[in-house]
Amino acid sequence: MACNASRPRLVGSGGATEIVMLGLVMVVLLQTAPRGVTPWLLRLFPARGRPLMDLDRAKTVEPFAARPKPERGSEILVVEGATKRFGGLTAVNGVSFDLKAGEILGVIGPNGAGKSTLFNLLTGISPATAGEIRYRGDRIERMASRRIARLGVARTFQHVLLRSDMSALENVAVGAHLRSDRGYLSALLRLDRREEEKLLAEAMRQLERVGLAHLAQEPAGSLALGQQRILEIARALAADPALLLLDEPAAGLRFKEKQELADLLSKLREEGVAVLVVEHDMNFVMNLVDRLVVISFGQKICEGVPSHVQNDVAVQEAYLGVAA
């Protein structure tokens, strides 16, 4: 007996078995379901019944108040000597240009020229070191990004930033939350059903506007890259912007997807939205924009209509040896 008692056991007594088993279950779960068991359960028991929102229902929900839009052709953005320094590096160096409502302005330049940094200054992601940026008369060069967004400036980023496990509809609803006076969380946690309906209906209307209404209930991560980029634009549009900034929206898209994107941006221009677009694909840019600003090493080296910019010697030099 004494001999038996001292023999090492595989699992101990007094609750040790449970701990070991629990540990094993945790290992298996972490290996096979790192995002939790909900996706499993949803696959086993797919949600039935009414979708969160559909087009017919969206039409019956009272929309958020629309922002008063600037008159077509009126000045919406004025950038004067915008400068951003990172220590010894001047990423944006005294850049000036303006933009009117209902105009598409392209910003082009080699990699590292400072285009994304310029976008960050315009959207309050980082404050300008010097210079002035005026949006509809308000100085925004050092304003917080949330306030700038509330004024009607929306953007997409160079790399797709979506919640891939959330539906397309919910991703777009996130973009509308700034228009709600209740806050997105309280709506999403269903503390306020009416507000939640308004957010989802707005998201549905924007999905229809960009031609993705049929994919509203799909997880964003399951969409093709081109659709994800358009979905990001829908999310930006849900904020009811007067100025839309797109950082390389055509990157990685196939020919047909690029055409669809160009059609959408032309449609937005018709509606009077001002669009600022950074893009590398020259064919895409040249056929779409009204004017171009060319940046190289942080400085504006040329500005004008596409045909003028194409023939500019400084621009050709800046691009020499750089894949456009």
Asked if 296 interacts with ligand ADP (CB under 6 A), we say no
Rg of the Cα trace of the chain? 25
Binding residues for ligand ADP restricted to 21-60, rule: CB under 6 A:
none
Asked if 86 interacts with ligand ADP (CB under 6 A), we say yes
What does 268 interact with, of ligand ADP, Mg ion, none (CB < 5 to 8 A by kind)?
none
Q: Which is nearer to ligand ADP, 120 or 171 (CB)?
A: 120
Please give the order of strands across the beta sheet that includes 89-100: 89-100, 75-86, 130-135, 138-139
Closest C-alpha to 123, from 225, 239, 203: 239
Q: Which is nearer to ligand ADP, 155 or 205 (CB)?
A: 155
Q: Is 115 exposed, middle or buried (0-12, 13-18, 19+ CB in 10 A)?
A: buried
Asked if 126 interacts with Mg ion (CB under 5 A), we say no
Give a three-class secondary structure readout of 16-85.
HHHHHHHHHHHHHHHHHCCCCCHHHHHHHCCCCCCCCCCHHHHHHCCCCCCCCCCCCCCEEEEEEEEEEE
State the nearest-atom distance from the C-beta of 215 to ligand ADP, in Å: 30
Please list, in sequence order, all residues whose beta carbon lies within 8 angstroms of the beta carbon of residue 134, skipping any fewer than 6 positions away: 77, 78, 80, 140
State the nearest-atom distance from the C-beta of 125 to Mg ion, in Å: 12
**Span of 14-22, 112-120, 165-173, 198-206 interacting with ligand ADP by CB under 6 A:** 112-120
State the nearest-atom distance from the C-beta of 111 to ligand ADP, in Å: 5
**Span of 48-56, 113-121, 139-147, 255-263 interacting with ligand ADP by CB under 6 A:** 113-121
Asked if 116 interacts with Mg ion (CB under 5 A), we say yes
Residue 105 CA, chain-centre distance (Å), reads 18
Asked if 90 interacts with ligand ADP (CB under 6 A), we say no
State the nearest-atom distance from the C-beta of 318 to ligand ADP, in Å: 12
Residue nearest to Mg ion (CB): 116
Task: Note whether 82 and 118 are within 8 A (CB).
Answer: yes
Asked if 91 interacts with ligand ADP (CB under 6 A), we say yes
List contacts with ligand ADP (CB under 6 A).
86, 89, 91, 109, 111-117
